[in-house]
Structure 1
Amino acid sequence: MTADSEDPNAEKQYHLEVGPDDVADAVLLPGNPERVDKVTALWDAHEEVAHHREYRTATGAYDDAPISVTSTGIGSPSATIAVEELARVGVETFIRVGSCGAIQPEMDVGDLVITTGAVRQEGTSDEYVREDYPASADGEVVSALVAAAERLGHDYHMGITMSADSFYAGQGRPGFEGFEAAGSDALVEELREANVKNVEMEASAILTVANVYGLRAGAVCSVYANRVTGEFRTEGETRAAETASLAVKLLARMDEIKRESGADRWHAGLSL
């Protein structure tokens, strides 16, 4: 038998150390634990409910809508642990809030990228489903993120994201002492020609696992670098957090409209 201290199904989750009463139905997922403070600074009120390893969780309200945030660390393995354990305590909606590298020349540093689907170059989701299973964002979450970005006046792009396991070789960057992985010199150009918008490290696994479990998920990332133009600045993370927070508020309204109208899914015919 599995020892109680390592039981992943215990009420207080093993890695996140959260229970069912600690989090809202919707959770934002930044990577960096330090981003939690930048997210919660936008809310009406909040309380930190857990902090273990890279996983830092706070719960509060944004414009009276219940909302939580959990940092996931870097990469898909730790992000998927967060989704697994948050799902076990009742979370139904996940929005990755991160940073990324843009690979289309017209995209500016500080712009937002709202993911509609993702290239699964990471290996974590392969352990859940076959490799041709799509990593698709939930339509309601995408609609809420677009509506939020429009209302806030933030510049944004929509499209396909590529998620990699490596910041260096897996994203076409040179490694230590100039090491280049096979095919890395052509990677960005191939993705750009296929109209992929950006590169990051968590979205495809979050989307895939959420879909497997019948949960809602999406992603919004701020552009820190444009891999085509060579521009780099750490800019726009507050815009991504603000957009995701407002999206949670809009999703709550969507759910209310669905209940009132008897609809199973929110659609464009139902007004926000």
Structure 2
Amino acid sequence: MPRDSEDPNTDVQYHLEVGPGDVADTVLLPGNPERLEKIVAHWDDHDVVASHREYRTATGSYEGTPISVTSTGIGSPSAAIAVEELARVGVDTFLRVGSCGALSADVAVGDLVITTGGVRQEGTSDEYVREDYPAVADHEVVAALVAAAERLGYDYHAGITASTDSFYAGQGRPGFEGFEAAGSAQLLEELQAANVTNVEMEASAILTLANVYGLRAGAVCTVYANRETGEFATEGESRAAETATLATHLLAKMDEVKREAGADRWHAGLGLE
């Protein structure tokens, strides 16, 4: 018989140290805590509401739309904790904002990749559902991210994202002193053959948990590395943050349009204006 959580505090979450009312309905999820300041720079106002371990949380507004951000640290285990605890205090929409490696020479460093679905190469989501359960981005979130990138004039690509548990062996890179994991030499070629667009470390777990709990999620990442050409540059970092911020505002407009139309889901026929 499963036991209740050993944490006696039912209001403030154990890892994130946020409680009801601390965060907006939509939360952006960068990995790096230092990215928080770069994200809120695009907002009209904000307050830091919690900072504990790798988790830093701020809440503010953009064009009148409430918005929050919580850093998750690196990898799916800590990202899943963030989703779990944010959902417990009322969050219903999650937008991963990060960096990634592109798998095609046609995707330039500095471009954006908007995730439509994920390859669950991480192990965290396996703790929740069977391995053939899909990691799918919510279509409203994808539409809002695409619309935001279009309005901002940023080059973007929409496609399948592979999420791994290792930056080195799990992404086909050599380990310490040139160590090569079994199968790593073929890994990128197999993903490329399957038309996977990019690789990172959190998206598929976030998407899987959101679907399991009936919530919305998506991801937008700036390309730092092109694994086909070997190019690497930490440029265009703010583009993903700005795109996700505008997408949050557009999602709020979508929700308003749905309410006015009496529709359960937003679709292109409803428009945004």
TM-score of the two chains, using structure 1 as the length reference = 0.98
SS at 2:50's partner residue?
strand
SS at 2:241's partner residue?
helix
SS at 2:116's partner residue?
strand
Paired position in structure 1 for 2:68? 68
1:166 aligns with 2:166: yes
Paired position in structure 1 for 2:234? 234
| Distance apart, 1:63 and its partner CA | 1.2
**AA at the equivalent of 1:241:** A
Query: What is the number of residues matched between the two proteins?
Result: 270
Paired position in structure 2 for 1:194? 194
* Cα distance in 1, alignment partners of residues 32 and 229 from structure 2: 26
* Cα distance in 2, alignment partners of residues 110 and 238 from structure 1: 10
* Cα distance in 1, alignment partners of residues 213 and 190 from structure 2: 32
Paired position in structure 1 for 2:138? 138
**AA at the equivalent of 1:252:** A
Paired position in structure 1 for 2:24? 24
| Distance apart, 1:2 and its partner CA | 6.5
1:221 aligns with 2:221: yes
Paired position in structure 2 for 1:119? 119
Runs of 4+ more than 4 Å apart: 1-4
1:53 aligns with 2:53: yes
* Cα distance in 1, alignment partners of residues 4 and 138 from structure 2: 35
Paired position in structure 1 for 2:87? 87
| Distance apart, 1:192 and its partner CA | 0.7
* Cα distance in 1, alignment partners of residues 10 and 174 from structure 2: 42
| Distance apart, 1:230 and its partner CA | 0.3
| Distance apart, 1:236 and its partner CA | 1.6
* Cα distance in 1, alignment partners of residues 200 and 165 from structure 2: 9
* Cα distance in 2, alignment partners of residues 62 and 149 from structure 1: 16
| Distance apart, 1:271 and its partner CA | 1.0
Paired position in structure 2 for 1:180? 180
* Cα distance in 1, alignment partners of residues 222 and 117 from structure 2: 16
**AA at the equivalent of 2:247:** A
Change (3 A) 1:251 1:3: closer
* Cα distance in 2, alignment partners of residues 3 and 64 from structure 1: 37
Paired position in structure 1 for 2:78? 78
Paired position in structure 2 for 1:211? 211
**AA at the equivalent of 2:173:** R
Paired position in structure 2 for 1:108? 108
| Distance apart, 1:130 and its partner CA | 0.2
* Cα distance in 1, alignment partners of residues 174 and 236 from structure 2: 26
Q: Which runs of 5+ in 1 are unaligned?
A: none
1:105-157 residue CA offsets vs partner (Å, 9 max, x unmatched): 11100000000000000000000000000000000000000000000000000
SS at 1:222's partner residue?
strand
Q: Which runs of 5+ in 2 are unaligned?
A: none
| Distance apart, 1:237 and its partner CA | 1.5
* Cα distance in 1, alignment partners of residues 11 and 173 from structure 2: 42
| Distance apart, 1:29 and its partner CA | 0.1
Change (3 A) 1:201 1:3: closer
* Cα distance in 2, alignment partners of residues 69 and 3 from structure 1: 25
| Distance apart, 1:193 and its partner CA | 1.2
* Cα distance in 1, alignment partners of residues 235 and 221 from structure 2: 11
1:250 aligns with 2:255: no
SS at 1:269's partner residue?
helix
